[in-house]
Amino acid sequence: MKLPTGKKPRYLLLILFLFIEKSCLLAQNQRYTYEKGMMGSPFVLTFYAPDDARAKKAADSTFSRIQQLNDSLSDYRDGSEINKLSATSGSGRWVPVGKDLYNILAVSQDFSKKTKGSFDATLGPVVQVWRRAVRKGYLPDEKEIKEAMARTGYQKLRLDPKTQRVLLTQKGMRLDIGGLGKGFAADEALKVMRSFGITAVLIDAGGKLAIADPPPGEKGWKIKVSSGRDSVGTIELAHVGVATSGPTYRYLEFEGKKYSHIVDPKTGTGLLFHVRTTVISPNATDADVLATAFSVTGIKRGKRYLRKYFSSSKVWLVETKGGKERVWKTIR
């Protein structure tokens, strides 16, 4: 398009101004990436900060916060707060706990009630059975699973919000918040970053993503979303959490059957027909929980729960049964 002669200087000045403004913005916000193995997975922090000093201080503080959460919430650590709480099960005592443990248990209970137990933080005894089976390569027998199942049930976990205390009503209970711990840690990591004035951030907590503001000059972070067999390609995301669950790497194969590491709280058995579930939610904690819960519910019940309670989330679930593949996809 040919501009009138009198408008050319003003038009060119505007272009020059926008170019300089974007260049200054990019110069003031350099891209940084820090990685550290935590919670049994690589934690990758990718963000934009004005200088090296602030970037390093923010990353160090973020990793310290994640380590603090791991020390409190990991059921792999003998002295963790969650294991000390599990040790009180059946004692009849209401136990005061720290803010992090109380909050994550409150989130767990909320999702347990809404999905009728498809997610359950009291599944620890059964998870222990399957961990041992995977390690030694055998299929747990019905008696072993039944005994472990008798010590589970989210109704046996009680919370007192006024005093921040917890009661585990039955002896032998063991808590396991592995199905939401990394998502929770990723959201907490974002809070630390924001406290340093850093808002263009992507936290990758072993595949659980917490995404804040987009990179400077961009609409969102470019994220590849796949079912493992199909892909929607790369989409731009900001201000959301993303989580994917599936037996791609963690499973038990026995006599031609592949049992997922995700255990159905109603049967105590690793899922047989689940392929993969990806969830995009307003935050990483919700995405992490729902990726596990919807894997258990399957498509029919999952649609009902999404409609009733989780309409702000998007799902891509693939399962196979009888040689047929079924897909539920609201992610576009």
Whose tokens are 């050319």? That residue is: 8
- Taking the C-alpha atoms of residue 128 and residue 174, their distance in angstroms, rounded to an integer, is 9
- Taking the C-alpha atoms of residue 250 and residue 16, their distance in angstroms, rounded to an integer, is 54
Binding residues, by number, are: 179, 288, 292
Half-sphere CA count of 15, side-chain side, radius 13 A: 6
- Taking the C-alpha atoms of residue 125 and residue 105, their distance in angstroms, rounded to an integer, is 17
Contact 149, 268 (CB under 8 A): yes
Residue ranges in 196-331 assigned as alpha helix (H): 284-308
Contact 57, 49 (CB under 8 A): no
Binding residues for Mg(2+), by number, are: 179, 288, 292
Contact 247, 240 (CB under 8 A): no
Rounded to 5 degrees, φ, ψ at 56 are -65, -40
